[in-house]
Amino acid sequence: MPPPPTVVLLEGRSDVVAVASFARRRAAGELDGVELVDLGGVTNIGGRLERLSIRPEVTRAAGLCDRGEVDVVVRALRRFHPDVQVMGDLAARGFFVCDRDLEDELIRGLGVPGCMSLLDRLGLGERFATFCRQPAWQSQPIVDQLHRFVGTTSGRKELFAGEAAGAIPLDRVPPPIADLLDYVVA
């Protein structure tokens, strides 16, 4: 029997792109009955949950959030599920926490050499090298440089998210994304 209709609430377009890419790679039809929603920012989660509460065909909401935004998600979910009080309560309700954010999860999943190779394939290797020579970024750890670089130009987060999600081996899907996908197909 297919899972009930589920709406997955995601902070932005890059999250939607990454989750959709991993789902396509894991199994055909994994997102049947699942709607991926770009919230346009996590602070919109309360309003979206309110609107979903009046849609009878939606039986479950799930999502991802960044560690720094857990309180926003907990407060929003608490209105509908009083048992949600702390970060540890989120997974039972289908919400999973990225350690820093989605991009950080993807960078760690791909690894620095994989990220460098990906940037070269995308024709961004030289731009990244130029970025790293900027005084503010010269002495920063390469993971921080990569993280900032993917967010510096409009559309780059989405491009990076889709390409990274396509390149990360399926046995290394970042845990919050793997847990989310397992939840929506359960």
Q: What is the rounded CA–CA span in Å between residue 63 and residue 7?
A: 8
Q: What is the DSSP string of 125-183?
A: HHHHHHHHTSTTTTTS-HHHHHHHHHTSSTTHHHHHHHHHHHHS-GGG--HHHHHHHHH
Q: Which residues are CB-neighbours of 39 under 8 A, at least 6 positions away?
A: 9, 10, 11, 12, 45, 48
Taking only the tens place, the pLDDT of each residue in 39-94 is 999 999 999 999 888 776 667 899 999 999 999 999 999 998 889 999 999 999 99
Ranges of each domain in the chain: 6-101+170-185, 103-167
Mean pLDDT of 166-182: 96
Query: Considering only CA atoms, which of 107, 101, 114, 110 is closest in space to residue 68?
Result: 101
Tokens of 140: 């920063």
Residue pointed to by tokens 């993807």: 106
| In CATH, 6-101+170-185 is 1.10.150 | no
Tell me if the pTM is above 0.85.
yes
d(CA 165, CA 20): 9
